[in-house]
Amino acid sequence: MIVASVGNVLVWAVWMAAAFACLGSGIAVVSFSNPFFSALALIGNLGSLAVLYLLLSAEFVAAAQVLVYAGAVMVMFLFVIAYIGPRQESPWAGGPSWQAVGAVLAAGALMVEIIVVIGLKASGSLAHSAHIGAAFGSPSEIGRLFLTDHLLAFEVTSIILLVAAIGGVILGEHARREVPGARALRARGSRSGP
């Protein structure tokens, strides 16, 4: 009993640290003016999310999160940011515009909406979680589900990745060619703004 309560306190402590790191780095991504720092904050966000996944006994997804997101995707982001060069953009410059106020209101409404729906529809059934086997979330279980129950999802995912790879190659190749509309866009962009 004592061991169980110590474990409970420990899990709560880890959860608190990971959840606050997650929320703080999420806000940091949105509010940093330099995209490089935003990308670095997103790496912290993904890492703390991986800790939350581990607490939810999703070991394979946590490992995939760190490898795929924090490894591959974020390295690609950092390469593109380094290629484009630092571009500062301060979201709150020049006082609150109607656009910024509308965005904050819409995001707040979205959050209130989600929380109200969860509270109304699911709060009663969320107190007691199901018991799970020791294999839950392990690579063998994920692999078994992927190759038996969710084979179609597995194949469709591979097709999506193939199409995205082809699209990336095509976008990178056609970027060298000049298109008629680009000059007009450039001319519009060199003006001082709307």
Site for another protein in 121-150 (CB under 8 A): 122-123, 126-137, 140-142, 144-146, 149-150
The structure tokens listed for 124 are 């009663």
Among 82, 108, 121, 155, binds another protein (CB under 8 A): 108
Among 87, 93, 121, 155, binds another protein (CB under 8 A): 87
Q: How many residues bind another protein (CB under 8 A)?
A: 106
3-state secondary structure the chain: CHHHHHHHHHHHHHHHHHHHHHHHHHHHHHHCCCHHHHHHHHHHHHHHHHHHHHHCCCHHHHHHHHHHHHHHHHHHHHHHHHHHCCCCCCCCCCCCCHHHHHHHHHHHHHHHHHHHHHHHHCCCCCCCCCCCCCCCCCHHHHHHHHHCCCHHHHHHHHHHHHHHHHHHHHHHHHCCCCCHHHHHHHHHHHCCCC
82 binds another protein (CB under 8 A): no
114 binds another protein (CB under 8 A): yes
27 binds another protein (CB under 8 A): yes
Residues 35-74 that bind another protein (CB under 8 A): 35, 38-39, 42, 45-46, 49, 52-53, 55-58, 60-61, 64-65, 68-69, 72-73
Residue 121 CB, shortest distance to another protein, in Å, is: 11
Residue 144 CB, shortest distance to another protein, in Å, is: 6
Among 1, 2, 120, 184, binds another protein (CB under 8 A): 184
